[in-house]
Amino acid sequence: MSDIVRARRYALVTGASSGIGRELAMILAREGYALVLVARRTEPMHALAQQLEKAHGVPSVVVGADLGSPEGVRTVMREVSTRQLDLEVLVNNAGFGLAGGFEVLPAEQQLGMIDLNIRALTALTREVLPGMLARRRGYVLNVSSSAAFQPGPLMSVYYASKAYVQSFSNALHEEMRGRGVTVTALCPGYTETEFAARAAEHQRPRLFSGPLGSLDARQVAELGYRAMVRGRAVVVPGFTNRLGAWLMPFTPLAVKLRITRYLNASGA
């Protein structure tokens, strides 16, 4: 893994140790991209890097970093700069959610959610975008959520963080128009990953019992990748999720709040 060739196309994927991030890394490797894999846990990423090199002949740089801290983004960009890698793709996938009452969930965890879901995503995008614009080629894929389209009682901070990601991504998509760079928001609904397990640390939402069905991480990643290369602003995987996103603007706030609260309440 040590002899990284600058001429290769590189994709940086955060939250690459599992779930949708891991699947997106596998798809990007299949498409010929060398990878910069970022997450807190390095062991699963080293295993993934070996798998991708064996299957697709692409090298990977593994970066262990806690993006929830200011030093995390600096660690990642220092590695990219030291190796003089030109990033063609940025996948901002790292993030987490927590279910439970706002006054009950630990304040430190909720503020950490904002740091990771919002601050780190914004900081990485700001670091990478100028180089893409200079080369007039690049893709940014921000993993948002179907939660972005309405407020979320009992997951209030998570839903609000994804509303930020959605608004930010849509605005940048328009700013980048005609400049060789595209920004896409991937908005999956409930997906059975480690994310779901962490979100249910304090309370398991009724939604996680699958009343609306779910897609697997591979399906979500494939749809996200296809939307990204086509330059779409938004992609919502799954018919039920797309229908819900379409209906939300026409649904009275009181109704949205009650439906979302019911889905986020404990299913136990």
CA angle 137, 72, 111 (to 5 degrees): 110
Query: What pLDDT does residue 194 have?
Result: 62
Contacts with 125 (C-beta within 8 Å, 6 or more apart), sequence order? 90, 92, 140, 142, 172
Each residue's pLDDT tens digit, 67-104: 999 899 999 999 999 999 999 999 999 999 999 999 99
- Does the pLDDT of residue 121 top 70, yes or no? yes
Share of the chain above pLDDT 70, in %: 88
Nearest residue to 28 via CA among 76, 102, 88: 88
Active-site residue, selected from the candidate residues 10, 33, 139, 158: 158
Please check the confidence at residue 241 and state whether its pLDDT lies above 80: no
Q: What is the pLDDT of residue 202?
A: 62
What is residue 116's three-state secondary structure?
A: helix
What's residue 205's pLDDT? Answer: 60
Instruction: Give yes or no for residue 45 having a pLDDT over 60.
Output: yes
Distance, in Å, from the CA atom of 243 to the CA atom of 57, rounded to the nearest integer, reads: 40
Compute the mean pLDDT over every residue in the chain, rounded to the nearest whole number: 90
Confidence band, pLDDT 50/70/90 cuts, at residue 2: very low
Is residue 146 classed exposed, middle or buried when 0-12, 13-18 and 19+ CB atoms within 10 A define those classes?
buried
Asked about 158 being catalytic, the answer comes back as yes
Asked whether residue 20 carries a pLDDT value surpassing 50, the answer given is: yes
Which range, 3-17, 143-157, 250-264, has the best average confidence (pLDDT)?
143-157
Q: How far is CA 238 from CA 152, 176, 188, 223, in A?
A: 20, 27, 8, 10
Backbone phi, then psi, for 62, in 5-degree steps? -100, 125
Question: What pLDDT was estimated at residue 4?
Answer: 46
- pLDDT over 90, % of the chain: 76
pLDDT tens figures, 138-180? 999 999 999 999 999 999 999 999 999 999 999 999 999 999 9
The pLDDT assigned to 247 comes to 83
Instruction: Please tell me the pTM assigned to this model.
Output: 0.90
